[in-house]
Amino acid sequence: MVDADQTFVIVGGGLAGAKAAQTLRSENFSGRVILIGDELDPPYERPPLSKGFLTGEKDRASVFVHEPGWYANHDVELHLGQTVTHLDRAAKTVRLGDGSVIRYDKLLLATGAEPRRLDIPGTDLAGVHHLRRIAHAELLRGTLASLGRENGRLLIAGAGWIGLEVAAAARGYGVEVTIVEPEPTPLHSVLGPQLGSLFTDLHRQHGVTFHFGARLTAITGQDGMVFAATTDDGDEHPAHAVLAAIGAAPRTALAENAGLALAPREEGGGIAVDASLRTSDPDIYAAGDVANAETPHLGHRVRVEHWANALNGGPCAARSMLGQDAAHDRVPYFFSDQYDLGLEYSGHAAPGQYDQVVCRGDVGKREFIAFWLREGRVLAGMNVNVWDVTDPVQRLIRSRVQVDPERLSDPDTPLESLVEGHL
């Protein structure tokens, strides 16, 4: 039983932090809950920033995790626009940018990730964008609208999920889009070449130009504005704006400076936590993009930069902080929307981990499920324009049962029948 006079502090006002605060209250924690975020807005969801919010279909009010009054109504003390600059584990305090110091009994680090920056000349020009925050999305949306009106060109560095989603949104505004990507296909390290090329075809059909096998080396400007970008193969690409969509890095500085154990970079980096999301300090927890968690059903650590991981990880950390026997053992889950293609991806199949890709359905019509297998066991599954299959796909992954690839690829064989008798 946790004392009512305890103070639980959450650093990071994103989805993981907001959901942790909600769970503390729904589990009847009656002590102080303090949520500190360096953004001015209360916690919001980021997926719409590269989709409906960017296209203008979703308004600002729709992206927030809770109604504005929720925090006060649930006695959650919000400190917005405040950066936690120092964590003192011995004194059990955090220091804020304004110099104030807050003592904690339990602490949750939900500091998320930040976009990687292009380390090339020209990134300070007006018209060079990153996309993580709502303010970034508002700026980019304005840029896309004006480029669309003026036959402008957007150059996107990186054909990952965010680069591709922004490309789709930009085409909706009528913007000319070029994507520069060092790998030979989009999403190469996530999906492999076969499935990656599906996205090449999809975007080409919508008028996007790809420049594969090259990296940006410089962005050149005229009167302080983006004018063109060059790649390491010597090509020059005319551009009026550039989006750097080259991935994100976990925000580990606080944890690192406080001496908490981090996961090695080659294992995804981030703050190392056990399955209950506890760090190497028993009073400090981490959840969401910043956490690299032991995941029992996978049998190894993984850092997941996805919405569902923050949605479920925040509550799991909150329960652990309350002394409950909680474990974060979800199958990683991700979704994306590009033009009329919607997909859900479950599981984890890093490059080199799988030895076979099996598709079920009509790949040409973009209505299928792809499975990544190792020795006949499903590691990951992606349903494209096929819905309500996430549960059986995740059951297959979790079961670790060896499946017959022919039956797996046969749409007339119910997915459920492949695991029956094995769970």
Question: Least distance in Å: CB of 156 to ligand FAD?
Answer: 13
Question: Least distance in Å: CB of 185 to ligand FAD?
Answer: 20
Which of 21, 24, 63, 84 binds ligand FAD (CB under 6 A)? It is 84
C-beta closer to ligand FAD: residue 65 or 195:
65
C-beta closer to ligand FAD: residue 49 or 118:
49
Which of 32, 33, 34, 39 binds ligand FAD (CB under 6 A)? It is 39
Contacts of 326 (CB under 8 A, 6+ apart): 276, 277, 316, 317, 319, 320
What is the number of alpha carbons within 13 Å of residue 123 lying toward its C-beta?
Answer: 14
* Binding piece for ligand FAD, criterion CB under 6 A, among 293-301, 302-310, 356-364, 412-420: 302-310
Residues 105 to 134: which contact ligand FAD by CB under 6 A? 110-113, 131-132
**Pairwise CA distance, residues 320 & 116, whole Å:** 31
Using rule CB under 6 A, residue 17 touches ligand FAD? yes
Using rule CB under 6 A, residue 15 touches ligand FAD? yes
Whether the CB-CB separation of 285 and 273 falls below 8 Å is answered with yes
Question: Least distance in Å: CB of 51 to ligand FAD?
Answer: 7
Which of 9, 21, 33, 38 binds ligand FAD (CB under 6 A)? It is 38
Which of 247, 335, 339, 356 binds ligand FAD (CB under 6 A)? It is 335
**Pairwise CA distance, residues 252 & 270, whole Å:** 6
* Binding piece for ligand FAD, criterion CB under 6 A, among 46-54, 64-72, 229-237, 415-423: 46-54
Question: Least distance in Å: CB of 194 to ligand FAD?
Answer: 22
* Binding piece for ligand FAD, criterion CB under 6 A, among 70-78, 193-201, 300-308, 404-412: 300-308
Angle between helices 161-172 and 188-205 (to 10 degrees): 10
Question: Least distance in Å: CB of 242 to ligand FAD?
Answer: 16
Using rule CB under 6 A, residue 382 touches ligand FAD? no
Instruction: List C-alpha distances in Å: 13 to 200, 262, 330, 352.
Output: 35, 21, 22, 35
Using rule CB under 6 A, residue 334 touches ligand FAD? yes
Using rule CB under 6 A, residue 307 touches ligand FAD? yes
And the tokens for 320?
Answer: 């652990």
Using rule CB under 6 A, residue 315 touches ligand FAD? no
Using rule CB under 6 A, residue 306 touches ligand FAD? yes
Which of 152, 160, 186, 288 binds ligand FAD (CB under 6 A)? It is 288
Total binding residues toward ligand FAD, as defined by CB under 6 A: 36
C-beta closer to ligand FAD: residue 1 or 387:
387
Rg, C-alpha atoms of the chain:
22
Question: Least distance in Å: CB of 1 to ligand FAD?
Answer: 28
Residues 151 to 210: which contact ligand FAD by CB under 6 A? 162
Residue 390 CB neighbour total at 10 angstroms: 16
**Pairwise CA distance, residues 102 & 234, whole Å:** 53
Specify the residue for token string 């009106």. 149
CA 24 to chain centre: 24
Which neighbouring-strand residues pair with 178?
Answer: 155, 209
And the tokens for 393?
Answer: 């796909």
Using rule CB under 6 A, residue 25 touches ligand FAD? no
Specify the residue for token string 């001496």. 259
Q: Angle 283-79-308 (CA atoms, 0-180°, nearest 5)?
A: 65
**Pairwise CA distance, residues 382 & 346, whole Å:** 6
Which of 9, 10, 11, 63 binds ligand FAD (CB under 6 A)? It is 11
CA 227 to chain centre: 30
Question: Least distance in Å: CB of 39 to ligand FAD?
Answer: 5
**Pairwise CA distance, residues 279 & 285, whole Å:** 5
End-to-end alpha carbon distance in the chain: 35
Using rule CB under 6 A, residue 310 touches ligand FAD? yes
Using rule CB under 6 A, residue 16 touches ligand FAD? yes
Which of 36, 118, 125, 302 binds ligand FAD (CB under 6 A)? It is 36
Exposure string over 184-206, b if 16+ CB within 10 A, otherwise e: ebbbbebbbeebbbbbbebbeeb
What is the number of alpha carbons within 13 Å of residue 323 lying toward its C-beta?
Answer: 7
- Residues contributing to the site for ligand FAD (CB under 6 A): 11-17, 36-39, 46-47, 49-50, 83-84, 110-113, 131-132, 162, 251, 254, 288-289, 305-308, 310, 334-336
